[in-house]
Amino acid sequence: MKHWVSAFRLRTLPLALSSIMMGGFLAAAAGAFQWDVFLLCIATTIFLQILSNLANDYGDSVHGADSADRKGPSRAVQSGRISTAQMKAGIAVFVVLSLISGISLLFTAFGLNWNAIFFFLGLGVLSILAAIGYTVGKKPYGYAGLGDISVFIFFGLVGVMGSLYLFTHELSWQYVWPAVSCGVFAVGVLNINNMRDIDSDRKAGKFSIPVRIGKQNAAVYHWSLVLIGLGSAVAFVAMHFESAIQLLFMLSAPAFMIIARKIQVKPSHELDPYLKFMALSTLLFVILFGVGQLV
């Protein structure tokens, strides 16, 4: 069991929960928060994130990215702690759990509004396919350097605006700004991961953004992600400004900037701890942003 818990990569869950929490905070500020919808959102997101992590473990091991050259923690399939057949079974289990939780969420949020249910069911299936297709298959999109786009869409736009819609049943484009913040910070976590693995990814033919542009340019790219994330949040507050407490989220800015500076100067093999720090900083940002909206 400890090998499976390790393969779940629980340290990635704060990042996965950030977009759902942002949607929940925005719904509460709009007077539309519901605990049953929120908890089912959380469960579905956890299942999808674990599914993504298991699929990534399997896919990178099959394609050779998780080799002995890799600088991060050893993976379950690559190390032999979990066989490929067992990992395939684990992936199937979390596909089923994601569908059960997701369908329960849709009926709780929409009742028998079949148009809304089928639309979000389609999004859910796309999320599952995106989680698996990142590193699994003959042409995984993560190996083409498209992971950043996928993370931005699903951890940002879909995660925030989709979860908010489950509460409000309304779509307002003003919420694109906090969705962009969550999306680019999530991309920042992926970017640190890819900077850490730049050498092994290059050998395996995984053309992530850092592999394509080099470590130093990837560090500059990371700075741009941080500035866009903070700037988008400031833009949203500026459009709805009532008091300075709405800028409470800026207390998280030093953490993002320290991380950006550290990954700029440290060698790739020392970057692994900053994955966790970036994910936790994103969660802190969301909590401070949400509190600022509610106070």
Q: What is the pLDDT along the chain (295 residues), one digit of tens a residue?
A: 777 877 788 888 888 899 999 999 999 999 999 999 999 999 999 998 888 888 888 877 765 544 455 455 566 677 667 888 888 888 899 999 999 999 999 999 999 999 999 999 998 888 888 878 877 777 778 788 888 999 999 899 999 999 999 999 998 999 999 999 999 999 999 999 999 999 988 988 889 999 999 999 999 999 999 999 999 999 999 999 999 999 999 999 999 999 999 999 999 999 999 999 999 999 999 999 999 999 8
What pTM was estimated for this model as a whole? Answer: 0.89
The b/e string for 74-111 (b: 16+ C-beta within 10 A; e otherwise) is ebbbbeeebeeebbeebbeebbebbbebbbebbeebbe
Rounded Cα gap, residues 76 and 80, in angstroms: 6
Six-digit token pair at 193? 């991961």
Instruction: Name the nearest CA neighbour of 166 among 294, 50, 22.
Output: 22
Angle at 83 between CA 11 and CA 14, to 5 degrees: 10
| Domains within the chain, CATH numbers bracketed | 2-294 (1.10.600)
pLDDT at 75: 61
- CA distance readout (Å), 65 to 188, 205, 223, 245, 255: 20, 8, 26, 45, 30
Q: Tokens 């923690």, residue?
A: 73
Given CA atoms 274, 224, 46, 20 in this order, what sign does their dihedral have? positive
Rounded Cα gap, residues 207 and 210, in angstroms: 8
The amino acid at residue 263 is: I
Distance of CA 18 to the CA centre of its chain: 8
pLDDT at 70: 47
